[in-house]
Amino acid sequence: MTPGAGTIKAAAQVNDLVEDGGTCIMSATSGSTHLTVSSQAFANPQSTACGALSLSSVRAGVWDVTVEYSSAKHYGVSSPIRVEVKS
């Protein structure tokens, strides 16, 4: 791990949509720095789950984080959540 850096983790799901094959992308932005990580989504009985998303070696500071879901038929993005990574 980079000194003075932390980790941003998220878990997400798409309610009322059940499908396999989509992609989840977590994005974190602080100033001009933009970080992303993606994972395959999977169907649950009543939703589509993104599972755990994790960005490591994130520098200390305030970050705006979103999670988006994309498949051949559907797209959506969360409202941004502001988080603070402390050193």
Q: How far apart (Å, rounded) are the C-alpha atoms in residues 29 and 62?
A: 9
Q: How far apart (Å, rounded) are the C-alpha atoms in residues 48 and 38?
A: 15
Supply the pTM of this predicted model: 0.90
On average, the pLDDT of the chain sits at 93
* pLDDT tens digits for range 6-47: 999 999 999 999 999 999 999 999 999 999 999 999 999 999
Distance (Å) of CA 6 to CA 1, 41, 48, 60, 87: 8, 25, 28, 7, 7
Across the range 62-81, mean pLDDT stands at: 97
Across the beta sheet with 42-43, the strand order is 5-15, 47-59, 42-43
Give the pLDDT score at 2. 53
Give the pLDDT score at 1. 45
DSSP string, 22-64: -EEEEEEEETTEEEEEEEE-EE-SSEEEEEEEEEEEEESEEEE
Question: For the chain, what percent of residues have pLDDT higher than 70?
Answer: 95
Give the pLDDT score at 51. 83
